[in-house]
Structure formats: C-alpha cells, structure tokens
Amino acid sequence: MSSIQDQFPDLGAHHAVYEAIDPKSGLKDSASGKVVFIAGASRGIGQATAIAFAEAGAKAVYLTARSEDALQETQALVSKANPQTQCAYAICDVTSAEQVEAAVADCVAKFGSIDAVDANAGYLGPWVKIGESDPEGWWWNWEVNVRGAYHVIRFTLPHLIESAKRFAAEDRSSGHLILLSSIGAQFLMMGASDYQTAKHAINRLCEFVQSDHGEDGIKCFAIHPGGVSTELGRNMPEAMHEYLVDEPELAAGFAVWLCSGRADWAKGRYLSATWDVGELAALRDDILQHDLLVNRLRAKV
C-alpha cells in the first residue's frame, strides 16, 4: 500500500483536527449565515461534520439518514455544540429520488436556502472476487455511493446556484458541494471491485458537476475522509484495519475548510482530508498549471 501512496502529493499528513481546519478556532464563524444540507448524518463522519458546521457558526444544519433515533442523537449534539444553529432532519434513503427531493424541499421550506452540501451517505459491503460476488450486493454499492450521490447533487444544485449568486453579491463564497470519495478510488485491490469502481466514478462525477456548473458558481470537491474506524470502514478485511487511524473530526473540519472558500481554486478535484491544507495551498500554481488531482490517462513517451 505504501508504494501506491508514493504516487500521491508529498504533503504532511494529519490524523486529527489542527488549527487551520478547526471550526472552533481557525474556521470560527466561517459558516455564519449558511444552511448546510448533510446526507448520511446519523453517525461517524456525517455526524462529526454536522457538529463541525455548527461550531463554525452555521445558521442551520439539515440532516438526513435512514435511522430516526440516530438522527435525533445528531440533532442533540448539533444543538449542544451551538444552540444558535438551527437543526432539523428527515428520514431519507438516498437511493430514492423522491425521498431526496422531498428532504431538499423541506430544508428550503424550513430555512430558506441551501448554501453548502455534504453528500456523505455511503456503503461498503464484504470484499469478494467478481466471479464469486452476489449481483444484487455488488450493484448495491453503486446504488448508494453513486446513485445516492447523484440524487443529492441533482436536487440541491438549483439551490446551491442561487446561493452562490446571493453570497457573491456580498463578496462571500458559497455554492459548495462535497462528495465523499475514498483513497480506494485510486487503488486496485482484490475483492473491492464494487466499492472502488463506485468511488472512482464519484471522482469523475465531481469533475462533471464542475464542468457543467462551474460557470453557475458551483464549487464541487471529491474527498477522501481519511481512514476512519467507522462501521463502514470496519467492513474492510481485518488486514486493512491498521490504516483506520484518523478521527472523524478531521474530515469534518476539512469539509468546513472547503466550504469556507479557502480552497475554491481546487474545485472539481480529488482531495484528501489528511493532507496539510497549508502545504496543499502552496502547490496551487503547479496543480492548476498541470491540471492535477483529476482522472486522466497520461502516458510517458
């Protein structure tokens, strides 16, 4: 695995929140006045992200997931983190276009807008060779990870476009859309064909969102949240568990950082929450000049 990682940018790695992406200090009030829509907010990274936006002063956070009990827990944690941040939720399966559309409409009806979106809902089943896989189980990875992300994108985009225009008039950045990818999108690991192809598709989908709607003010990112010991992460083979060393708050703070406008120059790209954001920003000119951190076939001659 380390030999593959050598192909990634040579940046300092973090495993927990640090000053530059801390919603309570370095990013304090960066989300003020914003309504944040989070899909998959009932536990783990999604829950931590909801709390982080509250800590960063969000006007409101709207939560979706399939478990009402878990949503209520996240709602209580959001209110505890910042009593001034409004919070509501909807029971929602992202594989259902109707449910996602209804949740988006409810969010706008309650809070007036959607200014940032985190498409965090995901699925990882058991790793099985293609020739031994269950067809329904294999495809369910794509249903949740790709179709689910598409539904969130499709129904929030019109509101994000309106938000980008409104905040631009105030000389602030908005219209941010975060898609949960994975470092696995860059790998080829036996038995992971369903998950890794789905996450690779997320990276490309991010590029299409940016290509189609960049002129509308949208800033889309596909992020690796780090190796987090969530219920999903622990579905990987036990040999991979040694890489689950990152706290969910790291990805949460990184999401708040992306939505602060500080990384708008990197829109349309794959980024890792573990990368030091100061070092990443220092590579800005090289990344843009050579169009790096995107899906491309390049051959050396």
Residues recognised as catalytic: 195, 199
DSSP class of residue 118 equals E
Residue (of 148, 120, 142) closest to 44 by Cα position: 120
Alpha carbons 180 and 248: distance in angstroms, whole number:
13
Tokens found for residue 236:
């990987």
Residue (of 104, 44, 3) closest to 226 by Cα position: 44
Alpha carbons 123 and 137: distance in angstroms, whole number:
11
Q: How far is CA 207 from CA 34, 175, 179, 219, in A?
A: 24, 15, 11, 10
Residue (of 50, 59, 34, 264) closest to 162 by Cα position: 34
Alpha carbons 279 and 138: distance in angstroms, whole number:
38
Q: What φ, ψ does residue 172 adopt, rounded to 5°?
A: -125, 155
Tokens found for residue 193:
């064909």
Residue (of 220, 224, 219, 176) closest to 199 by Cα position: 224
Q: How many CA atoms lie within 13 A of 10 on its CB side?
A: 2
